[in-house]
């Protein structure tokens, strides 16, 4: 589990691409402090497993499913990525519950400065927007952010200068793709409610039945 508080910006050193997967070598500093092979690291919000530790870097495999659902497949050597180690049991819960299993991607539509803040408007599919609520939490490329506005096909967040400066938000432009993970609590609530809806008895009285019986 992660919190969406980015620890540092890493740099892609190399990419080894397979038919349906990739292996990334990521240059880092802070996250290497106590990282061990087998530990989880969120890379742009995607939970990956460290498979090897190198001098000033670590490697991680990216599976087919992850490439399909995320923007990691578009990375190239030199790309910057947000990094966060899994939350320690005695750590501060600075953001919100982040699983590292993203729900899909969105596209940045616009950036707008508002005094010292920056508004980012992101388009998203209806399947994602159903879980995005105003004043709720959203994870964009691994960053825990508060939703400021929700519209029919998009949502907006307002980021403070510090968040922009210490993450790759500072490098984002309209048209860029970002990884999105919605608040997991909403998904659990929906899952719990659906069986109750399905359990309700369904009436067999239909217009077709009435027509067949002379009504």
pLDDT tens digit string along 39-86?
999 999 999 999 999 999 999 999 988 888 899 989 999 999 999 999
Which residues fall within 8 angstroms of residue 26, CB to CB, at 6 or more apart?
A: 10, 11, 12, 13, 43, 57, 58, 59, 60, 81, 83
CA distance 160 to 119: 9
Tens digits of residue pLDDT in 162-174 = 999 999 999 999 9
Residues in the chain: 215
Strand-pairing partners, residue 43, are 46, 83
- Domains of the chain by start residue, with CATH: 8-85 (2.40.30.20), 104-195 (2.40.30.20)
User: What percent helix, strand, coil does the chain show, rounded to 5?
Assistant: 20, 40, 40
Q: Report the SS3 class of residue 72.
A: helix
pLDDT at 187: 87
Tens digits of residue pLDDT in 140-183 = 999 999 999 999 999 999 999 999 999 999 999 999 999 999 99
The three-state (H, E, C) secondary structure of 105-146, written as one string = EEEEEEEEEECCEEEEEEECCHHHHCCCCCCCEEEECCEEEE
pLDDT-based confidence at residue 200 (cuts at 50, 70, 90): low
């Amino acid at each position: 589990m992660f919190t969406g508080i980015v620890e540092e910006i890493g740099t892609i050193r190399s990419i080894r691409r397979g038919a349906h997967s990739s292996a990334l070598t990521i240059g880092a500093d802070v996250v290497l402090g106590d990282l061990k092979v087998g530990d989880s690291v969120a890379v742009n919000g995607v939970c990956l497993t460290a498979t090897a530790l190198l001098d000033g870097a670590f490697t991680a495999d990216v599976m087919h499913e992850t490439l399909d659902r995320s923007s990691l497949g578009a990375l190239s050597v030199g790309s910057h990525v947000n990094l966060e180690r899994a939350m320690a049991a005695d750590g501060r819960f600075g953001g919100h519950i982040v699983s590292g299993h993203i729900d899909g991607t969105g596209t940045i539509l616009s950036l707008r400065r508002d005094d010292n803040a920056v508004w980012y408007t992101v388009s998203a599919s209806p399947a994602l927007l159903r879980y995005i609520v105003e004043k709720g939490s959203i994870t964009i490329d691994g960053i825990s952010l508060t939703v400021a506005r929700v519209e029919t096909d998009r949502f907006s967040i307002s980021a403070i200068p510090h968040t922009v400066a210490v993450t790759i938000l500072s490098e984002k432009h309209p048209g860029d793709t970002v990884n999105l993970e919605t608040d997991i609590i909403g998904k659990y609530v929906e899952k719990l409610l659906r069986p109750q809806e399905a359990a309700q008895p369904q009436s067999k009285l239909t217009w077709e039945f009435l027509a067949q019986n002379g009504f």
